[in-house]
Structure 1
């Protein structure tokens, strides 16, 4: 096998190598990023303010909407991290994987392409297609709660342009945000139109990624136009990011096969008066990738077989298109505020995966040599949501909120597994291994209430409840193939779910607040795929979380410290399983997740901010998953897809990051900000242990037992740097992601011949290779 690592090195531009080295030396003294702004009411310096705007995460002096009312983050009894829009720009964060490791408790797996991401929080792993981490865009949810839209595989991964901030809420958010937010919530808050100030912006940049033959490029434009002074304004933006490919194809020799592009377009119209405001916003985001950012590893050593290369017989394009429309009305009624939030979204996702090495050998059933095969998912989702809520005025001893929520989802899931002879010619009598359509509907209605009472200056008690009902319909339409019986089957389900939360809060003194929180969350159940050995309906997955936290500030707010400890008891876990090659779901028993999270910020001198984020998590299965029984003549096959004491998939025990930002006034209206960060992620497993027993029924005898343990993905660290020079109008930035070009992996799976059972190679998605870029922005 020819090793292409030498070829890659030869294609690297000498000038770029020199820039890499010089930038790393220049910025090595500035480890950088997560910083917290000053506590409200505390004295700050201009240097502190600018440094805070440059940090990757923010923990204080920030308004958040976690409780669906505007509050200071330091006064909210919940674990929240905020990522600001300016911070995301400094790090050139174009996808979730660029910043996830800087948020304690947030875990992310990526298949190397924006939008192909699985997100989990606090050890609540993505073990089934249903969402465990909710996503909101301003006041409305985005993404399906159905079991048939692969929500955990394709989490909303917005290209964060025109985003004001991202609020990361850790722990169950079931009472206020409902289904699918059992692990936590990602809340993207966009920039609103400004009715008083006109603004224009234009910018762009270039980047160079290790192993790529071409440069990556991007550009962006935006404007804010007051149409009627202090009454009506329009905000419009557009951004495009052309992603350079860096994976080569070992099959046909093609270079850089994983090129792609991201685009984001948004328009928002805001009308406001003294008592009423209304905003109508339209957003379209697209991701279009030619192939996955996955490489081939030796199945024994897990070393790259040929550098950044993979075996691709059939291209693996990925397309995701999101159209989102939202109308939000805020009405000041005097005694309370009324909010109506309406949304309509249309999501289209298509992904193809090469199955040649997995299912291609099925041609042997027809006396032919191994052929080519692929699997294509086409997912379409139309979603309408409506929320009405009434919120009391803030600052009163008793603060309350009541509301109602409605969601209607109409989804299609088409799956096809075409197979041909190796030269592409058809196989007589067989065109596909399977052709399956799964149309589904999900309708949910909920009522909720939340309140808190401040008994005195040091004690406050909060509580919340939510009652939800969902009804679902599902059809399984098999039109061709040999994997499933041809025909149509239908199924449906309905369920009622009650969630609650209780939050006592103690203000020990001006600088220290303690809180405790007990809360529940759920992942909806639903009708299952119809196949022998699988249950017809999957129950809701429920959890109860117990949390204790402290938010504190010392030494005139030069030291800010947040600590959180939690235990989560998870029941009726929904687990993806396979019976005779058919994927379905089962409820898989119980698990426990325990952990500690810490975030600290130090400001030793004006303009310099040092940050530390860390999370320890122990998430394990408490009992063997229920066995799936498959009849096999005089015997039966018993399959357990998870065993007691298994670690939760893709959940590291320990993660941490060390960061720093340094703001330097340069004079003449110019300033500089230097920063960077080191992030470390512990080892993980790619799944749970599978045990398969073949048992003779009469007399009862174990004929065979096989144990398949998950793969272990090694721990890694990555080092990021940036520098920015700004004045009133101009900003020039340079950044370096993964400065030492660590070859670490986000996901890992064996590619196994389904006829012989032999592993050909291990497919792994590396973290972003070393990438250097330069950006320029002009505002006027």
Structure 2
């Protein structure tokens, strides 16, 4: 037995009691993801309109409504019709539509890690911020697992999804270090009625099938003034992985349920929008495959996992938001208020990691079984006021203040029993069945002031600039009540920090339909008080980065060709990384990294009916220096851990990813309208982690080695290509759509996580989470 075999966490939560590899476990693009409006609802004039709508996509990246062609930043927009055509139910379904976006999941929505432009989720905080309309959702702190539990909204009653690449710290603040994901919901219609009913069926190759139902209604309560919108959707998630231990089939099935009610007042002086949104995700288990740790081949067959304990997952989000837009005549005053409650429970089988406590530590005849359960509760209140000038003048400005308060609780519980799931024999059951029971309450408060301005100089030149000054104050306590894995007792901590971010973006119009721009911007990922473990610093500082970008946006050939090109370099300092030993760990500020690359999006409308699109991203993201080591005293020796070495590639960042799309729209003489489309998407090879170096030295003397260095290299995920198809036809108010994603049933991994014994360090298996196998779906909608 070698007690010094490293166990590297993939689930990078502070005090991650189980090695985090436990948590680890197509999209067809109708047109170019960069900013295509997507196919229109079936109308007789749809084909005639397509060639003239390329330049009418609006975004709110600068917190004012603008044409996407006039914004000096890299933005992708996914429209409602695009999401419908491909049967999207999660971020993983449309990630390939967005250059530079990478998504890893554990077989169900909500168990998701997201990165943009190589800014990987190395710590427990989010690197991509999430907004629903005007309100940020999800935690800004480091104790809610935001890195691997990204909010994954069921995209129903969503007008569009905006993805802003690069740091957005000036206008969007904490967590937007890599970019922003913004869901824009559909507003009530104050001028007329709209009703929609729909249902569908989805089936997965060698897996299950499930039903989808949805309803939407928009009615004016006072014509041209007050409107009400209501919607409900239930989306079934058929499972497709089996468990060799208990024989269960299609264990990772689940469902998404979403409901929303919104009131909109369209007044002469002010507009008011009140919305309540509820989203729930429930999954029975995780989607994984047990792999040989040496060969990475399936141990028991394709899509067959090995777990002794069930692994359910649930996430409930309730968001209430109130926004006011008051026209003062000379400017607009906007108030955006949000209150959200998020409850997440995720349970993982930790038998491989901690089952050996029974035989190796307690000296029972056989190893046991174990599970680890995390509970995350978050109450978040946000308030933003901003005053902005009228649009269209040579000088536009915006000033604002933002406040947020988060009350959060993370609970961790580790149970140990016999291998068949029964309790340990007496007296061990009362003494050791609870390996750990702890709570991590925390609060996060932030107050920020920000300003943004743009100045047009002549007809061609414009310069944008922004600043933000923020201060956050945090409190945290580590309260351990039971167990043998973590020292008992309470250990509070607190921190505060001031952060300044800025942006500068000049642009020059080459003509009516072309411009070049440059953008320099900064962003940050908040730090906070750290867990109370020997060798860990009392707090971790914010991560900061600076992004440099050059871009071109152009339309030509009578606006039938659209071309967007961006090149970037990102310098990332004080990176927060997880460091753990024997399955217990916290955060440290590791060092520096760079990410540089280029992104291209092109759209060609060959005819009014036929569209071809292409997007590609090249990203080279790597660590500049060996990460700062963590020194963990172990009595007669010290363990020195390096969690990344110079030259390491960033986890789950391919050098090359791309998507080729096409769509043909048609109208028949009988009045039917429809479309057929396809997408071929490609993903380059990736690595699942950075390199870990473990060094054993004499106490206080790092130059005296007591054993050979142990190096754990990352695992490689192979490249793959997948083909998606879809078609739809409709007439009047009804529409029928079909889709087939991953039509060739490409086998590839979304993530890889090694599972080793926490005491012995013995590699037992690797869990590979597959991309979704071949999936067929049929959907019917009727609007009236």
- TM-score normalised over the length of structure 1: 0.93
Say if 2:232 is the partner of 1:230: no
Moved more, 64-73 or 427-436: 427-436
Say if 2:629 is the partner of 1:633: no
Where 1:439 maps in the other structure, the secondary structure is: strand
* Corresponding residue number in structure 1 for 2:569: 567
Shift of 1:422: 2.1
1:343-395 Cα offsets, whole Å, 9 max, x none, are 10000000000001111011121121100111100000000000000111110
Say if 2:408 is the partner of 1:411: yes
2: CA distance, partners of 1:768 / 1:49: 36
1:582-633 Cα offsets, whole Å, 9 max, x none, are 2200000000000100000011122111000000000000000011112233
State which of 709, 712, 731 in structure 2 corresponds to 1:708.
712
Alignment of 1:326-725 (within 5 A): 326-364=321-359, 365-368=361-364, 369-423=366-420, 424-426=422-424, 427-428=428-429, 429-696=431-698, 700-704=703-707, 705-725=709-729
* Corresponding residue number in structure 1 for 2:770: 766
* Corresponding residue number in structure 2 for 1:246: 240
- Kept in 2, the 8 Å contact 1:440–1:473? The answer is yes
1:90-145 Cα offsets, whole Å, 9 max, x none, are 10001100000120011111111100000000000000111110000000100101
* Corresponding residue number in structure 2 for 1:266: 260
Moved more, 651-660 or 294-303: 294-303
Say which structure, 1 or 2, has more relative contact order (CA 8 Å, 6+ apart): 2
1: CA distance, partners of 2:558 / 2:437: 65
Change (3 A) 1:699 1:192: closer
2: CA distance, partners of 1:293 / 1:392: 50
2: CA distance, partners of 1:436 / 1:425: 21
1: CA distance, partners of 2:112 / 2:686: 16
- Kept in 2, the 8 Å contact 1:180–1:523? The answer is yes
- Kept in 1, the 8 Å contact 2:37–2:54? The answer is no
Say if 2:293 is the partner of 1:295: no
Question: Which ranges of structure 1 fall in alignment gaps of 5 or more residues?
Answer: 1-29, 40-44
Shift of 1:771: 0.6
Change (3 A) 1:700 1:767: closer
- Kept in 2, the 8 Å contact 1:37–1:48? The answer is no
Shift of 1:431: 1.9
Where 1:677 maps in the other structure, the secondary structure is: strand
- Kept in 1, the 8 Å contact 2:29–2:82? The answer is no
- Kept in 2, the 8 Å contact 1:31–1:721? The answer is no
Change (3 A) 1:181 1:422: same
Q: Provide runs of 4+ in structure 1 moved above 4 Å.
A: 35-39, 45-53, 697-700
- Kept in 2, the 8 Å contact 1:515–1:548? The answer is yes
- Kept in 2, the 8 Å contact 1:59–1:74? The answer is no
State which of 157, 165, 171 in structure 2 corresponds to 1:162.
157
Shift of 1:51: 5.7
- Kept in 2, the 8 Å contact 1:59–1:81? The answer is no
Shift of 1:718: 1.1
- Kept in 2, the 8 Å contact 1:534–1:586? The answer is yes
Shift of 1:258: 1.0
Shift of 1:50: 6.5
Shift of 1:651: 0.7
Where 1:141 maps in the other structure, the secondary structure is: strand
Say if 2:737 is the partner of 1:740: no
1:544-596 Cα offsets, whole Å, 9 max, x none, are 00000000011111111000000000000000111343220000000000010
Change (3 A) 1:403 1:309: same
Shift of 1:152: 1.0
1: CA distance, partners of 2:279 / 2:747: 30
Shift of 1:487: 0.5
Where 2:340 maps in the other structure, the secondary structure is: strand
State which of 73, 77, 88 in structure 1 corresponds to 2:83.
88
RMSD: 1.7
- TM-score normalised over the length of structure 2: 0.93
2: CA distance, partners of 1:319 / 1:31: 29
- Kept in 2, the 8 Å contact 1:520–1:542? The answer is yes
Shift of 1:667: 2.5
Say if 2:773 is the partner of 1:778: no
2: CA distance, partners of 1:384 / 1:52: 44
- Kept in 1, the 8 Å contact 2:690–2:713? The answer is yes
State which of 741, 753, 757 in structure 2 corresponds to 1:753.
757
Moved more, 540-549 or 748-757: 748-757
Where 1:287 maps in the other structure, the secondary structure is: strand
Shift of 1:85: 0.7
Question: Which ranges of structure 2 fall in alignment gaps of 5 or more residues?
Answer: 1-27, 39-43
Shift of 1:722: 0.3
- Kept in 2, the 8 Å contact 1:691–1:706? The answer is yes
Where 1:97 maps in the other structure, the secondary structure is: helix
2: CA distance, partners of 1:389 / 1:752: 51
Where 2:740 maps in the other structure, the secondary structure is: strand
1:207-228 Cα offsets, whole Å, 9 max, x none, are 210111x322101011001111
1:690-730 Cα offsets, whole Å, 9 max, x none, are 00111235794322210100111111111111000012201
Shift of 1:511: 2.4
- Kept in 1, the 8 Å contact 2:308–2:419? The answer is no
Where 1:438 maps in the other structure, the secondary structure is: strand
Report the number of matched residues.
741
1:205-262 Cα offsets, whole Å, 9 max, x none, are 11210111x3221010110011110011100000001111111110011111111010
* Corresponding residue number in structure 2 for 1:21: none
1: CA distance, partners of 2:703 / 2:210: 63
Where 2:113 maps in the other structure, the secondary structure is: strand
- Kept in 2, the 8 Å contact 1:730–1:778? The answer is yes
2: CA distance, partners of 1:692 / 1:502: 42
Alignment of 1:148-187 (within 5 A): 148-187=143-182
